[in-house]
Structure 1
Amino acid sequence: MQIINNPNPSEWAELLTRPVFEAEFLQSAVKNILNRVRTSGDQALIDFNLKFDQAVTHNLSVTQEEITSAIAQVETSLKDAIRKAADNIHKFHKAQERATLEVETMPGVTCWRKSVAIPNVGIYIPGGTAPLFSTVLMLGIPASIAGCNEIVLCTPPGKDGTIHPAILFAADLVGVTKIYKTGGAQAVAAMAYGTETVPKVDKIFGPGNQYVTEAKQQVSLEGIAIDMPAGPSELAIIADETAEPAFIASDLLSQAEHGNDSQVILICTDEAQVAKVNRALDEQLASLPRKEMAGKSLQNSKAIIVPDLTIAVALSNAYAPEHLIICTKEAETVAEEIVNAGSVFIGDLTPESAGDYASGTNHTLPTNGAARAYSGVSLDSFTKQITYQKIDQAGLKSLGPAIEEMAAAEQLEAHKRAVTIRLEKIGR
C-alpha cells in the first residue's frame, strides 16, 4: 500500500480517485455488446459465452435436472451455512415491510401511500473468478418478500457450460427458478431487451465489474430501471492505535481479493500502526490462494495517516466508501459522524465479511462515491410506492375553490374546469 502522511484537504479528491478503465474504450465496448444482444438475441449470448468465458452453451436456460444435480453436489456444511445466512437476511428484510400510510389531510380528503411489488426483476450474479452465491440470497430474498411476480437470474457459466452448484442451491432455496447462463454486460442487455429465451424485466439488480456497471448505466438511459451504480468492490477502514493490525490486514485483503480493480483505503491516526498493518499484510498475503489478484488490488490502495479522528471521519465522508470499518476507541460514537457510506461495520469484532454473507444486511451497495446519494439494496428496492387519494362531496366543496384559484393563477384553465364542473354538479 502507498503511504501518505497528513495530506492537505486540497489533495483529497485526487488521492481518493478510484481505479478505472479508459472511459471512452469502456463505453464503446459495452455499447457494442448491448447492440449485438439487441439485434442477435440468444445467438449473441452464446457467442459471448464462448468469447469471454470459454464456455460452450447450446441451451441458455438452466433445467430442473441441472438444479437437482447441483443441489446434490453441495456439501452439507455449506448448505447449513447458506440456510443460516438466508434466515438472517430474511429476518432483516422482512422487518422492513411498511404498513399502508393513510392520512385525512382535511375533512373529506383522504390520501394514502402503498408499497406495490415491481412485477418483473432481473438479478445479476457475478461468476468467473468468484461465483457469488451469497448475492443470490441478497437479491432473491427481498424480491421474494416484496412479492415480485417473476425473478430472472443471470450468471456466467463455467468453461464446462454449467453454473456453480452453490449458486443453483441458493437460487432453489429462495425460490428463483428462471436461471440463465450468461454473464457480463451481455447479461444486462438480455434482461434489458429480452431475447428468445431470457425475459425482459422492469428493473435490473446486482453488482459486477466495470463492464456490468457501465451496461447498467447505459440501459438506464433507455428507460430500464437499475438498483444503483454498483461496480468494483471497495473498502475503507478508520483505525487508531487501539486497533488490532492483523484484523485490519485481513479486512483489507478480503476486499482486495475481489479483483484487480478493487480498492482499499486505510485511514489511520497512528503512523506506527500503519507499519504494523503493512507487515501483517505481507504475512497474510503470502498464503492467500488469490494473492496475485489481491496484490494487484493493493497497488491501487493507500494508507493515509491523519492527525486525529475528526480528520479521519471527514476524509472517509469525502471518499464515501461502499464498506466502512471503524476500529477505534468509542467506535459507535465515531460511527454517528458518518454520513457517506454504503454499510458500516463497528468495532474490532465486526469484519466486513459478516455483511457480505450472513449478518442479515444487504451486500449490494453503492460504489465509486455513489454512497453520497444512494442507499444499498433493501426491501424498498423491489417495490414502488403508489399514492392514492379520495375526495367526497364535503371535501371537494372545501378544497375545490383553492384548486380553482391556483389553476387560474397558473393559467391552466382545463385544470380549473375539472374542479368547477364537479362543484356545479354537486352544488357549491
Structure 2
Amino acid sequence: MSQIDAYSGATIFDGEQRHENAVLLVQAGSVLGIVSEENIPPDCTQHILAGGLLAPGFVDLQVNGGGGVLLNDRPDLDAIKTICAAHAPFGTTSLLPTLITDTPAIRDTAIEAGIAAGKAAVPGFLGLHLEGPHLSVARKGAHDPNLIRPMTEDDLATIKLARQSLPFLMTTIAPESVTNAQIATLKAAGILVSLGHSDVSFETATAAAIAGAGAVTHLFNAMSPLGHREPGLVGAALRTESLFVGLIADGFHVHPAAIATALAAKRGPGRMFLVTDAMSTIGTDQQSFTLNGRTIRRDGGKLVLEDGTLAGADLDMISAIRFMVTSVGVTLDEALRMASLYPAMCLGAHTTLGHLKAGAAADMVHLDQTLEIKSVWRGGQKL
C-alpha cells in the first residue's frame, strides 16, 4: 500500500460545500476522503497548512496559449507542455489547449500533437478545443475571415477520428457553417459541441442545442445579442436548460452588470463556467505577438488587434475568480465552482475532476484570505 498524505489546517472546500476542522486524505494521486481530525489514519504523512482554503484545482476549457507559446504558432507536443505548465501556478491543473481558426494542415498537426500529449500523459492536458474554422464571418471576432469555412464531410470525419485518440475533444462551431445533422454526428462521437462566433436567431440556436450542442463559447462575445424581439444566441444560451455557458470574466469582455444579469437568468442544469481564453502572454512579460500574421498587443490588461478588436484575453483563472467575487458579487464558493466543478461537468470529466470527494484526482489549490495562491498540487504532487 502506498503512503497516505493528510492535509489539515485549512478549511476544505470539496467543490460543493466547506468542511471546517477537517482533514483531506490523499493516496496514490487520488482523494481517499475527508475525515475529522480525530480520525487521521496512523502512519500517514501530515501536511499542516497555515489557514486559508483548500479547493479543487481549476479546469479551463479554453486556453489558446501561455508561457510565451500560442498553439496556432507551435502546434506541437512541447508547446502543449509549455501551455499546461504556464497555467499551473495560477491554479489551473487541467485544461484544453485551444486552436483557433486556421488551415486544415495546422489543424491536423495540432490534432497529432494532442494525441501525442495524451499518450505522453502530459500533466494538466485534458484534450483539445478546436475553436473554428466553422464559424460565421459576421461574428468573426479576432478569427481570420479568410480561413472561416463550412464544415465538409472530410472535416467531420477528421474530427470524429481525432476524438478516438484524445481524452476529450471540444469544438466551437456556428450553425451557419455546420448542419444540425453534423452536430448530432459530433455529439454521438463523444465530442462536446459548443456554439459560438455565430449570428443565428434564437430558434436556430435552440435547434442546434436539440441536435446535440452542449455549450456556448464565451457568452456575449462574438454572437447575436439578446434583443427584446430577437433573443439571439445569448437568449438561447440563458434559456436552454441543457446548455453550459463559458464566460470570460476580466472586466473587458463582459460588463459586471451583464454577468450578474446572466447568472440570474440562466436556467439549469447547464451552468455558467469560467474560461480564460488566455493567449501566449500568461506567465510572461511578453507585450505583443502575432496570430495568423496579425499583431496582437497587450493593452492595460487586455489583448487587442491594431483596430482595437479584443483578441483573446490576458487572463489567468485565479484573477477571473477574484473578479467574480469583487466586481460581480458572486460568493467565493460559487466562483470556485465556476472554475472547477462546472467546467468539469460540462466536459463530462466530473467523475475525477472539479471536486475533492472520494475518487477524485488530488488536484488542489491552497488559497489565503486575499485569494492569493499559496500552493498547487496536481495528482497529489506539489508543483
Q: Give the TM-score of the pair, scaled to structure 2.
A: 0.29
Report the structure, 1 or 2, having the larger strand content. 2
The structure with the largest alpha-carbon Rg is 1
Which has a greater percent of helix? Answer: 1
